[in-house]
Amino acid sequence: MTRKNKSFFGEVWSFLKVRKAWWLLPIIILLLLVALFIVLGQSSALSPFIYALF
């Protein structure tokens, strides 16, 4: 049986479906949002607005 290579997000999605671990989905989304805020907050014109949120 040959298996097609999956991306990281494909592997995570498969894990969530097979293990029925839907409770992990909000945690993953929150971590991605925090990472996005960190990347945008480092050096962009949006920095003052992001800092105002915290």
Q: What's the whole-model pTM score?
A: 0.60
Residue 13 is assigned to a structural domain of this protein: no
Residue scoring higher pLDDT (6 or 29): 29
Residue 27 is assigned to a structural domain of this protein: yes
Cα distance between residue 52 and residue 27, in whole Å: 23
Residue 40 is assigned to a structural domain of this protein: yes
pLDDT value, residue 27: 92
Residue 52 is assigned to a structural domain of this protein: yes
Residue range of the domain that includes 42 = 23-54
Residue 11 is assigned to a structural domain of this protein: no
Q: What is the pLDDT of residues 13-39, one digit of tens each?
A: 888 889 988 888 899 999 999 888 888
Cα distance between residue 24 and residue 54, in whole Å: 25
Residue 42 is assigned to a structural domain of this protein: yes
| Domains in the chain, number | 1
pLDDT value, residue 3: 64
